[in-house]
Structures are given as structure tokens and as C-alpha cells.
Structure 1
Amino acid sequence: MASADWADRYLQLASFVSQWSKDPKAKVGAVLLDRNNWVVALGYNGFPKGVEDNIEKLKNEKDKNNMVVHAEQNALICAGPRADGGSIYVFKKPVCSRCAVLIIQAGIKKVVALKPDPENNKGEDGEPSDSHTSGIISVAMFREAGICLELIEEKEMNDKVNGWKEDWMKET
């Protein structure tokens, strides 16, 4: 397993990769390591190859949610069989249940991600956000499947990611 310093670096890398997403509302990044802790794939949320990711499609939440490939899915697709026995680090949102299913099937042994918090993450209607509600289901599946799970509070995750940016800016 990766040491704490490396774990922070993988989250920081996932944060960086998340910025490649063209989605103005949800920028999610994933770093997938093989069983030897080598980075084998990066992923961010976006439309499938050949599907234009114009701003109109990105603003239409219902259509966008039915078309988008999640960061975790992109990383798993790129890693292929190298994902088996590996780890995945996800920045910005909890792992949804549809990604959890794929992570489990791919043989991932460790997941580091945002802790789902439906009570403090309400949608515009005042109800818990779908991503956090789905994240609760994911946590249950990961635990049942025996996957090592490290859930990070939102503030802690942001501190880890912002800390490296401040350090880097001092050095330049």
C-alpha cells in the first residue's frame, strides 16, 4: 500500500486531472494504480470519444448525466486488466454506485475517495444530493466486497489538495 505522503500525492494528481473535464459543474479526477503502486491510468469525467462536449450538452443535466463517462470509469477503461489488485484515488465527489460496481468487478483492492455526506450536501430542492446518496450505497458494497476503503472528509480532502498548490507556488 502507498505511504501517507504518496497517498496525498495521488489525490493531488487526481485533483489536477479533474481540471481536464470540460463540465463546468462537476470536475472529477481519478488516479488508478496497479498492484505495485505504479500509476497505470488517469481519468476525468467527460463525454465518450466522438461525442462533442459542447456547453449546451453540458448545461442539460439530465442528458449530460446519461451521456457522461465518469472519471473512475475512464481510468478503469484505460487500465484494463492492470487494474486487478490495484488502488484508485478519486477527487471531488464520492464514488457513485455504478462506478463502485465496476471498481469491484475490476478487482480493485483499495479505494480512496470523498466521504459521502448526504446531510450536509443538499441539492437545490433541499434533498440530499444524488452523488452523496449513491455514495452511501457504494460504501456498503465496498465493505461487503472486502475492499480497503479510505473515506476523506471534504475539508480534509480540500486541505490536502490546496496544500500542495501553496507549497508549489512558494517554490516558483
Structure 2
Amino acid sequence: MADYPINRNRFVKLSRPILISNMAPSKSEKREQYLSWDDYFMASAFLAAKRSKDPASQVGACIVDSEHRIVGTGYNGFPRGCSDDDFPWSKTSANNLENKYMYVVHAEANAILNKNAADIRGSRLYVALFPCNECAKLIIQSGIKEVIYMSDKHATREHTIASKMLFDKCGVNYRQYEPNESRVVIDFNEIDWDKQNQMPPTPSKGV
């Protein structure tokens, strides 16, 4: 279980990302308890973070195009082909070569690299932490036009200040995510599969 700060005084605790409910007023009306786009995409970024092997910081990112389609996801980790057991996860060693910072690829960079052939110009990126200056460069170069972030806890650090300077000068908008739901949970046992059917009923054969 991990805490992700919205700001310095407010936290959202996600135990198992996304709660799906089947409750609806009636079978002929749409279900009202569905996720907003922002909640859906930020939850997708948090779900991607669950794949991170980093013991101290798990960050996920999700890229969304203008038609609300997810075109790339990523999480922080070592480059493809580098064993998670061969490189250090430490961040406090006096020897820089024994710290993770020399080797880890950030979630935003992985999401951009994982976009496959999708055109992400004009898209938006959802991420738990405000991007560092190195990720900001990639975001700008890839054509992403909006960044939605959960936490700005490093706001006073130089790499975040530099990021905002880059975004401001290059016309990339950024805003802090404001959740509609304080807790989103995935429960694979929530859905009653015996009562779920997307196909029309099979017509009965006449005698």
C-alpha cells in the first residue's frame, strides 16, 4: 500500500487501484457511478506504477490522445534488458555508481518510448509526480501539450523549477490533478460474471 501526495497536506491512499460497481437505477438507464476521464487516466498511471520494482518510489505515467484513447503507459525502472537484480536500487550511497539515479528510466520517458507508432502530438500526460527537467525535454520534443500531475512535492528543487520554465516557454500546459474519487480499487471478484452479458439473448426456437 502506498501514499501518493496531492499536496503537502493531503494524501490519497490507493490499496488496489479501481472500484467497479454494477449498481444502476434500472437496467434501462445508464449507470451513474462511473469514473471521470481524469480519474480513469490517473488511475491507469497508478496501476502502471504497480509494475515498478523500485522499493522507495513507484511512479507511473499514462499518455492520452485527443479522443481519450490511451496510447502509451510506463513506469520507472531500469532499461530493457538490464536485470532488476544486477543494478542498485539505493539512493543514499556516497558512490554515485551505487545509486539508482545513474540507471533508472523515468515513467514519463518509458511512456513516450512505449507509444509504439502512435502520434502523440497534442496529447496529454498523466503522472504521479511533476516531471523532472530531463523528462520535460522529452515531453516537449514529443509534442505533448498538457501534463496532469498528482504531486508537486519537489516544487522548490532546481529540476522542477527548470521543468516549469521549459513548459512555460514552450507552451505546455500543466495542472494538478483534483480527484473526484478519494479511493479507486480494482476488485476482480466485484463483477458477477453469471449476470454479465454484452450479447442479445438467443431467440427461442418455436416448437
Q: Do Structure 1 and Structure 2 share a fold, with TM-score over 0.5?
A: yes
* 1:95 equivalent in structure 2: 131
Q: Is the 8 A contact 1:100 1:142 kept in 2?
A: yes
Matched residues in 2 for 1:145 and 1:59: separation? 34
* 1:86 equivalent in structure 2: 123
Identical-pair percentage: 32
Matched residues in 1 for 2:150 and 2:184: separation? 18
Shift of 1:60: 5.1
Q: 147, 150, 158: which is aligned to 2:175?
A: 150
Aligned residues: 149
Q: Does 1:13 align with 2:50?
A: no
* 1:163 equivalent in structure 2: 183
Shift of 1:59: 2.3
Larger RCO, structures 1/2 (Cα 8 Å, 6+ apart): 2
Shift of 1:53: 1.0
Unaligned stretches of 5+ residues in structure 2: 1-34, 191-207
Shift of 1:117: 3.7
* 1:125 equivalent in structure 2: none
Q: Is the 8 A contact 2:87 2:100 kept in 1?
A: no
* 1:96-111 pair list within 5 angstroms: 96-111=132-147
Q: Is the 8 A contact 1:37 1:86 kept in 2?
A: no
Q: Is the 8 A contact 1:143 1:149 kept in 2?
A: no
Code of the aligned partner of 1:57? P
TM-score of the two chains, using structure 1 as the length reference: 0.75
Matched residues in 2 for 1:32 and 1:111: separation? 9
Shift of 1:115: 4.6
Shift of 1:21: 0.2
* 1:2-151 pair list within 5 angstroms: 5-54=36-85, 57-59=88-90, 62=96, 63-79=99-115, 82-91=119-128, 93-118=129-154, 132-151=157-176
Q: 1:118 to 1:73 in 2, by over 3 A?
A: closer
* Partner SS for 2:73: strand
Matched residues in 2 for 1:109 and 1:71: separation? 17
Q: 1:23 to 1:117 in 2, by over 3 A?
A: closer
Unaligned stretches of 5+ residues in structure 1: 120-127
TM-score of the two chains, using structure 2 as the length reference: 0.63
Moved more, 42-51 or 72-81: 72-81
String of CA shifts for 1:121-172, please: whole Å, max 9, x gaps. xxxxxxx6xxx542222122112111121124xxx56x85x5112xx56x83
Name the one with the larger helix percent: 1
Matched residues in 2 for 1:46 and 1:142: separation? 25
Runs of 4+ in 1 over 2 A off after TM superposition: 34-37, 59-63, 114-119
Q: 1:34 to 1:64 in 2, by over 3 A?
A: same
Q: 1:150 to 1:60 in 2, by over 3 A?
A: closer
